[in-house]
Chains A and B, each alone.
Chain A
Amino acid sequence: MNLPPLLEVDRLTVTFHGNRDVRMILEDVSLIVRDSESVGLVGESGSGKSVLLTAIMGLLREPWRVTAGQIRFQGKDLLGLDEEALLRLRGKELALALANPRQHLNPIVTIGRQLVDMQRAHGVLGHEAAFARGVALLESVGIPDPLLRMHAYPHELSGGMCQRVILALAISNSPRLLMVDEPTNGLDVTISVQILELLHGAVKRLKSGLLIVSRDLGVVAHYCGRVAVMRQGRIVEQASVGNFFAAPRDPYSRRLLAAASAARDADLTAGSVQLLKAKPNQICPPEPATVLQIEGLVKRFTVKGGRELTAVDGVSFSVHRAEALALVGESGSGKTTVGRCILRILEPNAGSIRFAGRDVTRLPVRKFRRLRSRVQMVFQDPFDSMNPRKRVGAAVVEPLRLTTKMVEREIRRRCDELFDLVGLSREAAHLYPHQLSAGELQRVGIARAIATNPDLVIFDEPTSSLDVSVRADILNLLRDLQQQIGITYLFISHDLTAVRRLCHRVAILYLGKVVEIGETEAIFRSPLHPYSRALLSSVLYPDPDQVRAPFVLSGEIPSPIDLPTGCALHTRCPMASDVCRTQEPAMEEKTASRWLACHAVPALAQPSPTRHDVETGSR
């Protein structure tokens, strides 16, 4: 017998009726999800993925209209159903878990109440039974103390916890089809892996269909059976994961995949566009001269209730001329705070930052402003970091106007030069930020940062808000600039693939402390510190055949208000022993130019004398 597929989207067309025009949002979209099948829907922002999900849930309202096509669920036409019938399906047979978990939980209702309501809206369960089942659900998604959490409000939970709750809500009525929008968006890598494993397990247990919408090809490669690629409202390719990653047919898919893989390996399979060339160690070797030297940096914030949050807890490292050093870590690791302290956007509580031969923490702000032209920063969100009311050209030359004595003619020439350098047309200088795309705008941000030829450029997650293909372009640009003008980079990122391509050395941070620092390739090949191992093994490469030796840390990242004693990692570390709980490990050189702070890792070789001897100051 031939059962109809679980979900069948058939030549769906959705239009948007604006005040002045009618736009096609989805065009002839066809998609099938079968029972026990996981389908990944991939596409860049604005490609129509979310609209498709909304349409399947029957939640499209004016000004969006379905103008053609059908959506069949277990053979029933969803578009023909009335609201009452849809209500019975939504949350019961069809479940949707949206991105940004915090926004999708009702902030004034307890977790438990939301779980009970969700079940009672459909089920026959009474309050008691639903509550008991809620506790079991929370436990099944890996929330510790589930009974206690039932009475918690969403703001009392971390982002990762909220995502688990969303997941628990979505599976609470054992749906036939589970749709998940960007399940790992905004989550740290070690947490993302836990969430994806949970999702995978839940769907397997329920034997339901799963539709994952994601921009991350790595997620799709490892957790889906089939892939659909969406672009500008059309599905350009549908294939099994194996076939897709081996040989994508559509040129757009090829570009997407190449961009995602480029960060991992330059000499990937034939046919893929070679986007990134040399490895960082092969280009402009760093000179021994030290540009920046940080020692024992501490930054505390006072939070509500007068408690202290230690964001940076004794960080020491140095950056050499023409070198790219990466600061890597998850949220709360303090990496961004370090960058802001260097620029004196924040005032550190203790420690020294030696830049250009001077301890800048002791300089009065007025004097430091003169030094500012020598350290510059590129920010995470290109739109947010541009004044919407100023032309981008004005933004680029502002540092020149304010910190140099250049005359108008020189400034204009330098502006042209900068726009050439970052690969934008000179005319773009006359545009306003909203007239440029995110990628173009990030180029402007880079031009602004290098305008004064600074000694050091700090990159604060420069690619994390960009789409995959744009991300590769920006990384290429950074690489080219490195080669052409030999700038020194401090690259703050959690995008490990980008770090590997661009940086000579890596410092890995966990809860405000450097846990491991060393040459990039050495660390990526054999991370020594348990946290580094967990972090690196959590990276999902866009390659279904990637051999993963998961080194999984349990639980959540502790709150920086309430740091664990001893080694901060001991609450999650499988290698933890008694000494870890009480004694803080010191930074030691365990093998040639590899420094780490861990009791469990023995010294591998005699420490060699190294020119990076400045690390001896580390704690």
Chain B
Amino acid sequence: MRVSFASDLWQFARGRPGMLIGLCIILVNFALALVGPLVAPYATEAPSSASLLSPSVHHLFGTDVSGLDIFSRVLAAPRIDLTIALISTTIAFAFGVALGVVSGFFAQAQRGGRLVSSLILRLADIVQAFPVFVFALALVGISGPSVRTVIVALAFLNTPFFLRLTRGAVLQIRSRTFVEAALCSGNSELRAAFIHVMPNAIAPPLVHFSTTIGFSILLTAGLSFVGAGVPPPTPELGLMIQVGAQNMITGQWWTALFPGVALATTVLSFSLFGDNLRVYLDPTNRR
């Protein structure tokens, strides 16, 4: 009988501390995304006169230059960061996998099919040739800084990675005879590609999904840092680091340190989880 996926995964995770730690931090992040702003002891966007207080019992992480409580803002940040990362990665995943399946399935096809396949690949090349930050700045220049801009920029950036990963996996699966068998059974080529090949090629992009979320949070922060991200005073980690960095030189280390640590842990947790998920999904790595 098939063991349920969740309990099997749990069995696997028990022997791997990296996976457990990653999973825990991810769960905390999701919880904070839901309730963070509610449990925050102070308002997260209303400036006060209590600027640049060092960490104390009242302000665990201190306050920033506008007198905002950093601890409250760190608690509230996942709602923005995680939302951006999740939505942009999901969009990238959907487009990347779909295009990757088509481009991989028709790579060895005749005439028209192969043309479409290489066209998709060249398109991915062009997208990947764009410097991310320049692209995001251009986008901000056109439509102004907003959460939507960041999501579009990140989705655009990440799609080619999913595309290439999927294409690679599809190329491998495409050569198996069950694909020919599916065609003989009366499947059209597109149906065979999406019904028969895709489910067998989904593991690599799925693993990449987790890692990409982590790095999307990092990029979101990076974009905020250069001013192409979400507009202040949104509680967003990158923005907080950017604002804090100016005070750090003058000795107010807490302004950038705590958001920075929060960011690092989050990114790390997604990487840990993704890496272990790859091992879990790859049957050759398990005995």
Contact = CB atoms under 8 A, between A and B. Distances in A.
Interface of A: 18-19, 63, 340, 343, 345, 347, 369, 372-373, 376-377, 379-381, 384-390, 395, 398-399, 402-403, 445, 448
B186 A398 contact: yes
B181 A19 contact: no
7 contacts: A19-B287, A372-B184, A377-B180, A379-B181, A380-B177, A384-B176, A398-B186
A444 to B, nearest CB: 11
Contacts of A395: 181, 185
Contacts of A377: 180-181, 184
A154 B259 CA distance: 57
A386 B180 contact: no
A369 B183 CA distance: 9
Nearest to A432: B2
Contact of B178 (A343, A380, A387, A403): A387
B186 A448 contact: no
A402 B186 contact: yes
Interface in B241-287: 286-287
B184 A376 contact: yes
Contact of B185 (A340, A380, A389, A398): A398
A448 B178 contact: no
Contacts of A19: 286-287
Given A377-B181, A384-B177, A386-B178, A369 B188 contact: yes
B141 interface: no
Given A347-B110, A387-B196, A403-B185, 19 more contacts: A18-B287, A19-B287, A343-B180, A345-B183, A345-B184, A379-B180, A380-B177, A381-B177, A384-B176, A385-B177, A385-B178, A386-B181, A387-B178, A387-B182, A387-B200, A389-B199, A395-B181, A398-B185, A448-B181
Contacts of B181: 377, 379, 385-386, 395, 445, 448
Nearest to B191: A402
A384 B188 CA distance: 20
Interface string B112-129: 000000000000000000
Contacts of B287: 18-19, 63
Contacts of B182: 387, 398
Nearest to A380: B177
B66 interface: no
A379 B185 contact: no
A505 to B, nearest CB: 24
A398 B187 CA distance: 9
Contacts of B186: 369, 372-373, 398-399, 402-403
Given A19-B287, A343-B184, A398-B182, A388 B177 contact: no
Interface residues of B, number: 18
A386 B176 CA distance: 9
Q: Is the interface of A mostly helix, strand, loop or mixed?
A: loop
Contacts of B286: 19
Given A19-B287, A387-B200, A388-B200, A345 B185 contact: no
A388 B199 CA distance: 10
Nearest to B2: A432
A499 to B, nearest CB: 21
B280 to A, nearest CB: 13
Contacts of A345: 180, 183-184
Nearest to B198: A389
A448 B185 CA distance: 8
Contacts of A376: 184
A207 B196 CA distance: 55
Contact of B177 (A63, A372, A379): A379
A373 to B, nearest CB: 6
B40 to A, nearest CB: 45
B169 to A, nearest CB: 13
A372 B183 CA distance: 9
Contacts of B188: 369
A124 B184 CA distance: 61
B112 to A, nearest CB: 11
Contacts of B183: 345, 372
Nearest to B184: A377
Nearest to A17: B287
Contacts of A388: 178, 200
Contacts of A402: 185-187
A399 B199 contact: no
Contacts of B199: 389
A18 B286 CA distance: 10
A387 to B, nearest CB: 5
A402 B187 CA distance: 7
Contacts of A379: 177, 180-181
B119 to A, nearest CB: 21
Contacts of B177: 379-381, 384-385
A445 B182 CA distance: 11
B200 A389 contact: yes
Interface string B160-189: 000000000000000011101111111110
Nearest to A373: B186
Contacts of B178: 384-388
Give the most central of B177, B180, B185, B188: most A CB within 10 Å.
B185
A509 B176 CA distance: 26
A600 B18 CA distance: 74
Contacts of B180: 340, 343, 345, 377, 379, 385
A238 B276 CA distance: 49
A373 B183 CA distance: 10
Contacts of A398: 182, 185-187
B95 to A, nearest CB: 23
A506 B223 CA distance: 71
Nearest to A376: B184
A386 B178 CA distance: 5
A269 B181 CA distance: 40
Nearest to A402: B186
A456 to B, nearest CB: 12
A385 B180 CA distance: 8
A407 B151 CA distance: 46
Nearest to B175: A384
A386 to B, nearest CB: 5
A387 B182 CA distance: 9
Nearest to A398: B185
Interface in B50-89: none
Contacts of A389: 199-200
A377 to B, nearest CB: 5
A507 B29 CA distance: 69
A287 B183 CA distance: 30
A168 to B, nearest CB: 32
A475 B135 CA distance: 64
Which of the listed residues B186, B188, B199, B286 has the most CB atoms from chain A within 10 Å of its own CB?
A: B186
